[in-house]
Amino acid sequence: MSFTLFSSRKSEVAQIETAGLDHHDDALDVEAKGYADASIQKENQAVLDSDEAQVIQRKYLRKLDFIICPTISFLYFFEYLDRGNVANAKLYGLDKGHDTSNGGVGPGKQSLSATQWEVVIMLFYVGLILFQVPGCIGYRLVSPSKWIAFSVCFWCITSMLQDVATNYASLLVCRIFLGAFEGLFGTGIVYYLSIWYHRTELGLKVFWYLGPTAIAGAFGGLIAYGVGHIKRSTPQWKWLFLIEALPGFCLGLFCLYWLPDRPMKNSRFKGKYQEVAVARYHAETVDRTGPIQQKHVIWAIQDWKLYAQALIYFPTAALLSSISGFLPTIVAQLQGFLYPSVLSIPIVPPYACAFVLMFVTSWTSDRYRDRGMHIVGLSAISAICFLIIANLAEDALHAKYALICLSTACVYSTYPPSHAWAANNFGNETKRAIGLGIYTALGNMGSIAGSFFYPTTDGPIYRKGHYLSFGMSLAALVFSLVNSLTLRAVNRYRDKKYGKPVPGLAIDVTDNADNLPMFRFIT
């Protein structure tokens, strides 16, 4: 899609010239509508539109994808492993008494209560929420490669420190710091991607960031299955934390060398590749990124779109946290499907289905410039699944398992388009950094709520949890539909009042962000 934009840019820039942009009055009119200066348009044309430039662009994009996409995929893979492995560790005795053979964190020979375990799951999200806004701003103020390396290495250290937790309090301290460092890392990745890729490329790129949540869920079960065969005096749950944190720490250090920082200033691209990076950065919008302006912070906080997006993310986050925290336990109770081990292969298919559907959804949401209706469709299917599961008989194992696979896939597949949608519609970098931080912090309050959906005392049917999940899916559907229809109405209003934007021409969002007459929202 981006190559179509490149190939058509020359004729579009010619439209500006033939329309009389060199005439003073016309130039003022174009500036008022928010188009970037004609000299920038011509400079982009010179870099992007020659036959040689087409070849360079393809090589540049391949190199950019090779550097960024696998790296963020592996980073979030390890983050999600470290976030969700506490549920698998519970199956190996983390919640058991410290004086038992499991060497858990319970007092003496007593296990943690169901409420205490819910707090263990929940407290991670408290740390995550508190540090998401500072985390996103950090990407704006500090070199992204350094910020990523710092946050990744420290969350991995914190994850490994769970091995020395000897009581409930020490585990809670580890969990809240784990959430804090993951908040510093994860929130800003979508912002980081948005400075390298165009708005209509962002859905698939966000998939490469968030897709590993599904892979991590599947591999987490497989790793836990393998750990279950380690026969040592050290409790098995400790091996789980160690094995899953060490590779992430090494990758975090590697990011200092490997990841580029910003298109305008980076150490990974030189010569013509650097020219292409800058031209692409200016191809859709021109943002002369300088110090953070107070008005952009205020605009972000006052922007109704921020809270509309947070309303969509809240139920999604609740569903995701409930799935990652309790799916192993729920699947373990579908006795007809399990091997004799405590954790086994049936945990993998729900996440495998999720990964495939996430990819398809992300690609089509870019292809058709649509986020909202994708979320509406997926939420409708997941709502139906949860409603049916809640009313199935206890022994309907085959039907329950199939519906768990489908509902998990649909819930996870709303994740990339919802994040890309939020990033798409904040007009400049400062609004995007502030807005995405607040958006994820507010939305992740749903993660705290989701931690309490499936208490172990409700097993094996978990009817209340399934009804709550049905309600969350229905809420995501309604909020997405309303937001999409509202943004379409705003676009139509701007088209009618200011005329339709010239396709492919950059607008200058430095001062007015998405308030520009020619800015159009992705719906």
Q: What pLDDT, in 10s, does the model give residues 97-131?
A: 888 888 888 888 888 888 898 888 888 888 988 99
Taking only the tens place, the pLDDT of each residue in 324-362 is 766 766 666 665 444 444 444 567 788 889 999 999 999
**Tell me, what's the pLDDT at 22?**
44
Distance CA 432, CA 305 (A): 12
Buried b (16+ CB within 10 A) or exposed e, 307-339: ebbbbbbbbbbbbbbbbbbbbbbbbbbbeebbe
Taking only the tens place, the pLDDT of each residue in 282-309 is 877 777 767 788 888 899 999 999 999 9
Which of 37-51, 60-74, 334-348, 392-406 has the lowest average pLDDT? 334-348
Whether the predicted pLDDT of 468 surpasses 90: yes
Q: Please, what is the average pLDDT of the chain?
A: 84
Residue bearing tokens 């890309």: 420
Name the residue type at position 261. D
Taking only the tens place, the pLDDT of each residue in 359-378 is 999 999 999 999 999 999 99
Which of 253-257, 304-308, 316-320, 427-431 has the lowest average pLDDT? 427-431
Taking only the tens place, the pLDDT of each residue in 147-158 is 999 999 999 999
Whether the predicted pLDDT of 380 surpasses 80: yes
Which tokens go with 312? 């969509």
Distances (CA, A) of 43 to 40, 55, 196, 493, 502: 5, 18, 18, 32, 17
**Tell me, what's the pLDDT at 486?**
97
Residue closest to 433 by CA, chosen among 301, 247, 240, 249: 301
**Tell me, what's the pLDDT at 409?**
94
Give me the percent of the chain exceeding a pLDDT of 70: 86
Distance CA 321, CA 507 (A): 39
Averaged pLDDT for residues 306-333? 84
Averaged pLDDT for residues 200-225? 82
Residue closest to 412 by CA, chosen among 390, 388, 382, 449: 382
**Tell me, what's the pLDDT at 211?**
84
Phi-psi sector, 370: left (phi>0), alpha (psi -120 to 50), beta: beta
Contact indicator for 266, 259 with CB cutoff of 8 Å = no
Domain ranges of the chain: 23-508
Which tokens go with 280? 């692409």
Whether the predicted pLDDT of 1 surpasses 80: no
Distance CA 156, CA 6 (A): 41
Averaged pLDDT for residues 248-259? 94
**Tell me, what's the pLDDT at 515?**
87
Structure-derived torsion over alpha carbons of residues 401, 378, 474, 370, reported in degrees to the nearest 10: 170
Whether the predicted pLDDT of 381 surpasses 60: yes
Whether the predicted pLDDT of 470 surpasses 90: yes
Taking only the tens place, the pLDDT of each residue in 406-464 is 999 999 999 999 999 999 999 888 899 999 999 999 998 898 888 788 887 787 788 89
Residue 262's DSSP bridge partners are 265
Which of 38-42, 177-181, 492-496 has the lowest average pLDDT? 38-42
Residue closest to 213 by CA, chosen among 182, 242, 191, 243: 182
Query: According to the CATH classification, is domain 23-508 in 1.10.260.30?
Result: no
Which tokens go with 62? 């391949």
**Tell me, what's the pLDDT at 451?**
79
Cis peptide leading into 460, omega within 30 of 0? yes
Contact indicator for 317, 176 with CB cutoff of 8 Å = no
Which of 29-38, 67-76, 113-122, 333-342 has the lowest average pLDDT? 333-342
Whether the predicted pLDDT of 270 surpasses 50: yes
Any idea what the Cα angle at residue 414 is, between residues 323 and 386, rounded to 5°? Answer: 50
Averaged pLDDT for residues 466-476? 96
Averaged pLDDT for residues 486-503? 91
**Tell me, what's the pLDDT at 177?**
95
**Tell me, what's the pLDDT at 4?**
39
Which of 168-172, 260-264, 368-372, 411-415 has the lowest average pLDDT? 260-264
